[in-house]
Every structure is written in C-alpha cells, then in structure tokens.
Amino acid sequence: MREKILYGLGLVGMGLLAWNLYKIAFDLPHQANVAAYQIVYFHVPAAITAFTGFFVALVASGLYLATGALKYDAFAAGVTEVAVAFASVNLATGMIWARYAWGIWWAWDARLTSMLACWLIYAGYLILRRAIDEPTQRARLSAFLSIFGCVDVGFVYKSIEWFRTQHPAPVLSIRQGGGMGPGMESPIYWNWLAMLCIASLLVIVRMRQEDVSREIDSLRRMAHSY
C-alpha cells in the first residue's frame, strides 16, 4: 500500500511539474516572460512548502510533548528534514533572483535575515538530533526547538509587512498584494501542489527509514539480551 502511495505521489508531482513548466514557458501573458517572474514561480512555492513542513513538525512536536509517544517525534524529525531541503531551495533561488533584480546576491534585510535564521534554527535541530543518543531527551529538546523555530517562521511570514526594506512587499492576492497580473499567480499554487506531492513522497521514504532504524535497534537489544 505504501509503495502504491509513493509511486502515485511521485507520478502526480512529476506530472504537475511538467505541465507547469510548459505553462510557465509557453502559456503565460507576455509580461511574465522574464526571469523576475519565472524564478518566483519556484522560489515562493518552495517557501510555502517549507513553512507547511515546519508547521506540521510543530503540531507533531506538540503531540509528542502532550503524549510522550516517540512516533510523533520521529514524524517531526522526518518532516523537518524535508522542509529544510525546501527552505534551501527557497534561499538559493532567492539569491539568484536578487542577483538578477538588485545586482547583489544578498542583503541583510528583515526577510532575508529572518529566513536565514529560520534555516539555521532547523539545521541546528537536525544537528541536535545527531548529538543526543538518549531518545526521550532528544525528543523533548527537539520538540522545544521545533516550537521555537516555528515562532521565527511566523516572523519570516510577517516581516515583509512589518519592515519595508529590500525584499518586495507581498504580491499574492491572498495577502492583498495584487502585484501580479490576472492569471499570473496560478503557476505558484500549482507548483506548490507539485512540491507538496514531492515533499510528501520524501517524508514517506524518510519515515520508512525510521521504521528500519527502530527494527535495527530492537534487534540489537535482542542480541545483547542473550
């Protein structure tokens, strides 16, 4: 069953991406045929996918703290790892966009700096998990760090409204931006859906590895108990 879900998600994700690439390249209004738009079609969905992952990890971490069940901790760790990969995509494409639009790779403005801090917090989360062997202590500290990281996610989201620095103001109409023309926003949401399929596939693979790790641990305990 899990294999079928994996293949299904992979096919849907890849199909959506191929269709989107075609739409972005050939089927958009003329004014969207510039790098400024086309990079945004990957930069923004990567950010939304990463933030979705961080929020899901927050919920799983909260469930771990409430119940003490390690399965929630394992799920939070898997989702966070995948979300960090998408946050890296967001930062990398953002830097290329900045070089094109501003002539510089990086600016220490509120949005960019808070996003970098967010990436560092969650990268720290993954490093912390490798540093602690005791599962309960690792899960508790990771849960607190995940909650702290999600506070920064909220700050990253609102930073372009609170601080008018280098990064553009909100452009999407759901945030009352209105910076993109009619019909030019939809590739963002379709790409988000495609990335969400790919992220879900990666999380399922990651969770399967957690199951194997647990099986190895229990076999080792069994071997030592003889």
Q: Which residues in this chain contact another protein in the complex, by CB under 8 A? A: 33-35, 38-39, 42-43, 46, 82, 85-86, 88-89, 92-93, 96-97, 99-100, 198, 202, 205-206, 208-209, 212-213, 215-216, 219-220, 222-223, 226
> Would you tell me the crossing angle of helices 2-26 and 35-67 to the nearest 10 degrees?
150
Quote the least distance from Cβ 13 to another protein, whole Å: 11
Query: Within 13 Å and on the Cβ side, how many CA atoms surround 205?
Result: 12
> Which of 131, 134, 4, 153 lies closest to 80 in space, CA to CA?
153
Quote the least distance from Cβ 66 to another protein, whole Å: 29
DSSP state, 32?
A: G
Pick 85 or 172: Cβ nearer another protein? 85
Pick 115 or 202: Cβ nearer another protein? 202
Pick 128 or 205: Cβ nearer another protein? 205
Pick 143 or 198: Cβ nearer another protein? 198
Quote the least distance from Cβ 161 to another protein, whole Å: 25
Rounded alpha-carbon distances, angstroms, from residue 102 to 98, 166, 167 = 5, 9, 10
- What is the per-residue DSSP string for 49-108? HHHHHHHHHHHHHHHHHHH--HHHHHHHHHHHHHHHHHHHHHHHHHHHHHHHHTSSS---
Pick 158 or 166: Cβ nearer another protein? 166
Quote the least distance from Cβ 218 to another protein, whole Å: 9
Quote the least distance from Cβ 12 to another protein, whole Å: 16
